[in-house]
Copies of this chain bind each other. A is one copy, B any other.
């Protein structure tokens, strides 16, 4: 029962602090025979890496991943894969003040209260830097999925920044990679650029909503009733820094629907297999995948590190004000997109393996 681990059979343990010597992920349970190299993991890390445009922190880390174990001649061996990323840009001097004062909205105070000791530099273990390890692990999950279930495609994108939502009518998969926000709606991406520039200039920040879709997931994944696919996804996404809500399919909006509206009616496709009229369920019924797209959304709160002074207290028990200087994203939600994708990849792979163990992966026949 490692509390820094997630997954059942594909089990990822992340370790490391923002300003320690290194961070990484211990990945256990990757099937043998998966073609893998550092470049394949680096690809996903580079997507997440900060400092790529003016909307993410200017911290410059190469984030070069090293595979320390679990590989032989270009393939995984079924033994644990250790991924290490050295921390190179450790400007600890920026973080002097927060050694004493607790930044509002950060885990500074709770880590202190729980542990009585904390690595305050850059947030230590609670830094969003931990998510680099998740993205690296997600790279392995993607490589394994490419072997075991090549039809699965996992894509994350941004659907809301502050009060500004995308227009679903203008949704275009091809747009996602073309703007700094992973926004599937080109016009909204332009609006966000203007909006975030204002935020940044005013020393403020803003929240966001990320959506991650897994296409091509076979029916039958998920382990009722406490390892349900949606329950595992909820935990996975909620464990990401700054996430405050997780939705599956209709999500919160399901509350306002009637049963007639919400029913995803079923007909038969040309192949004699089920076709759903709609996907209110987000691809999951009773915790098990239906074969439709698995759709997850999560809300990321605004960056807590802002240049506007906020009241707080010190460890010594004195009231003070704090301004969090340093290099911070006006919207941390942007960097959460590849993290959400990585979590989805890990959860889907995990359930693919689990389903094989539980049932042999054989399906009940329709027709």
Contacts and interface: CB of A to CB of B under 8 A. Distances in A.
Contacts of A206: 257-259
Contacts of A114: 78, 219-222, 288, 355, 359, 363-364
Interface stretch (A42-50, A55-63, A173-181, A234-242): A234-242
A245 B244 contact: no
A160 interface: yes
Given A114-B364, A239-B228, A124 B72 contact: yes
A172 interface: no
A226 B2 CA distance: 8
A260 to B, nearest CB: 5
A225 B239 contact: yes
Interface string A107-123: 10111111111110000
A23 B81 CA distance: 10
A2 B5 contact: yes
B4 A319 contact: no
B15 A79 contact: yes
For chain A, give the interface size range. Answer: 35 or more
A136 interface: no
A290 interface: yes
A353 to B, nearest CB: 5
A266 to B, nearest CB: 5
Given A2-B2, A13-B13, A365 B219 contact: no
A358 B245 contact: no
A185 interface: no
Contacts of A353: 357-358
A105 interface: yes
A32 interface: yes
A326 interface: no
Q: Which 7 A-B pairs have the closest CB atoms?
A: A107-B286, A317-B367, A357-B357, A205-B259, A110-B288, A3-B227, A116-B364
